[in-house]
């Protein structure tokens, strides 16, 4: 081959390699990747194109990337999933359903590394269309739903919400009578029908905030779950039904919320000797999922710490985000994760319960909760700050800690939605 021919051959090889090279919209470099589903726990790079994770490997070339994010010294994890929130925000005072007690998902998700929020029963089969139209379809946050067995969801009670005066109950209109205490409006068939029509959004059934003596609401929620083949999340505020009986009625894959609360309405999971009750252990072994569901009153150190000491860990870190809990000991999901890290849970177990475990619990492990190539590019970059921190429970007690998670950058569907310190921004030269 002539010298000219050899040069031409090399040029052709060069152009072929360029054509074969993968073009990325974003490459995340130098981060410590923790991906529980794929057993990744090391320094890796991630390439993203068209909203999809295209490559996860060491020393990924940045030659043809539009944006390079240096995650040195930080953790790169799947976008966090919060399976217990109340985000059916609206204008009605003193209620959660289409009301002011709920909060806007986009205001709280991305800044906490969360890409998916699951609303826990704020809407029911009657008012879900309003929730879908006004909130779900207008939010950048991915919103999934547990549908309340009560037709109007968490719409309150007529007297409590000020809709009527207790002296004039006869003036209640047909619309006003449907509230979260109305057993007659807890319809398993209609609930299952709405779920089956919206399987892309609705992932389960919710029973909660019923304060009566009948077991019928619980049974109807389970019935709806069976018909639609979805899990049921149980709120546990059912004073006439013991925790033991609730757990016995729950199926594999059903979810117990507020697992570590200590309230009069329900027996605690920890007995008088500081041990996890046997029927609780039995339920977990049977496949019942135990969620934190922190909220304003749902998390107590005198339950969570003995449980950990007994080897009993929560399966998921639902926050129970709403207007009140965010200003109490809960604050946000990252704060819950930090609590458990400082209580002795290792970082891999913490990330597992914020990503892969919740994805499995809502039957979305095929596309959420991992950094699997081909999945949606939902990614959180977290720093782990060192310092002198305090963490508060529902009773007002505090533990000290020296580690705290911070969301540095959040990507959903390949787009940067939160960037605390400009990791994804171009440097300004002056």
Residue 48 has pLDDT above 90, yes or no: yes
CA distance 213 to 211: 7
pLDDT in tens, 338-348: 999 999 999 99
Give the pLDDT score at 192.
Answer: 98
- Token readout for 361 is 């619990």
Query: What integer pLDDT is reported at residue 19 of this predicted model?
Result: 41
pLDDT at 163: 41
> Mean pLDDT, to the nearest integer, of 372-393?
98
Q: What is the average pLDDT across 46-61?
A: 95
Mean pLDDT rounded to a whole number for the chain = 90
C-beta of residue 110 within 8 angstroms of C-beta of residue 409 = no
- Model pLDDT, residue 327: 92
Q: Which residues pair with 196 in a beta bridge?
A: none
- The whole-number average pLDDT for the span 328-357 is 98
Q: In this prediction, what percent of the chain has a pLDDT beyond 90?
A: 79
Q: Say whether pLDDT at 160 is over 60.
A: no
List Cβ neighbours of 79 (8 Å cut-off, separation of 6 or more): 113, 114, 115, 116, 355, 368, 378, 379, 380, 410, 411, 412
Confidence of residue 1 (pLDDT cuts 50, 70, 90): low
Token pair recorded at residue 181: 């205490």
pLDDT exceeds cutoff 60 at 105: yes
Pick the residue with more confidence: 9 or 246? 246
The answer to whether the beta carbons of residues 307 and 339 sit under 8 Å apart is no
CATH class, 79-372 region = alpha beta
- Residue spans of the domains in the chain: they are 79-372
Write the DSSP string, 306-359.
HHHHTT---SB----BSTTGGGTT---HHHHHHHHHHTT--HHHHHHHHTHHHH
Q: Residue 162: which pLDDT band, with cuts at 50, 70 and 90?
A: very low
Q: What integer pLDDT is reported at residue 63 of this predicted model?
A: 81
pLDDT-based confidence at residue 334 (cuts at 50, 70, 90)? very high
**Which of 107, 284, 318 lies closest to 206, judged by CA?**
318
Is the confidence at residue 18, as pLDDT, over 80?
A: no
Nearest partner of 404 among 367, 350, 356, judged by Cα: 350
Global pTM? 0.91
Are 64 and 78 in contact by the 8 Å Cβ rule? The answer is no
């Amino acid at each position: 081959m002539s010298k000219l021919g050899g040069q031409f051959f090399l040029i052709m090889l060069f152009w072929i390699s360029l054509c074969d090279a993968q073009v990325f919209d974003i490459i995340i470099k130098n981060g410590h990747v923790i991906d529980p589903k794929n057993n990744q726990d090391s320094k890796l790079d991630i390439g993203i194109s068209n909203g999809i994770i295209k490559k996860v490997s060491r020393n990924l070339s940045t030659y043809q990337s539009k944006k390079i994010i240096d995650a040195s010294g930080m953790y790169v994890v799947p976008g966090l999933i919060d399976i217990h929130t109340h985000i059916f925000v609206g204008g009605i005072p003193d209620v959660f359903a289409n009301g002011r007690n709920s909060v806007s998902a986009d205001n709280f998700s991305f800044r906490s590394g969360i890409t998916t929020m699951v609303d826990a029963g704020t809407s029911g089969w009657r008012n879900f269309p309003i929730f879908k139209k006004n909130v779900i379809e207008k939010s950048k946050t991915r919103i999934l739903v547990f549908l309340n067995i009560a037709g109007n969801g968490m719409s309150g009670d007529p007297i409590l919400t000020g809709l009527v005066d207790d002296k004039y109950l006869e003036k209640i209109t047909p619309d006003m009578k449907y509230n979260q205490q109305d057993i007659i409006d807890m319809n398993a068939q209609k609930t299952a029908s709405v779920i089956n029509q919206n399987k892309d959004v609705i992932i389960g059934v919710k029973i909660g905030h019923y304060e009566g003596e009948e077991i019928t609401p619980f049974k109807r929620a389970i019935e709806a779950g069976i018909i639609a083949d979805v899990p049921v999340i149980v709120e546990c505020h059912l004073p006439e039904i013991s925790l033991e009986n609730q757990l016995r009625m729950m199926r594999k894959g059903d979810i117990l919320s507020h697992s570590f609360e200590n309230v009069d309405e329900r027996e605690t999971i920890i007995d008088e000797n500081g041990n996890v009750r046997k029927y609780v252990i039995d339920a977990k072994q049977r496949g019942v999922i135990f969620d934190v569901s922190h909220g304003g009153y749902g998390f107590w150190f005198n339950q969570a710490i003995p449980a950990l000491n007994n080897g009993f860990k929560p399966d998921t870190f639902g926050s129970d985000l709403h207007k009140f809990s965010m200003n109490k000991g809960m604050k946000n999901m990252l704060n819950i994760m930090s609590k458990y890290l400082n209580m002795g849970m290792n970082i891999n177990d913490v990330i597992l319960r914020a990503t892969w475990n919740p994805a499995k619990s809502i039957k979305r492990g095929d596309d959420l909760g991992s950094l699997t190539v081909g999945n949606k590019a939902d990614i959180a970059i977290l720093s782990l700050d060192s310092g002198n921190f305090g963490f508060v429970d529902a009773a007002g007690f505090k533990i000290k800690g020296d580690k705290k998670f911070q969301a540095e950058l959040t990507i959903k569907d390949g787009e940067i939605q939160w960037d605390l310190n400009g990791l994804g921004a171009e440097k300004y030269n002056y």
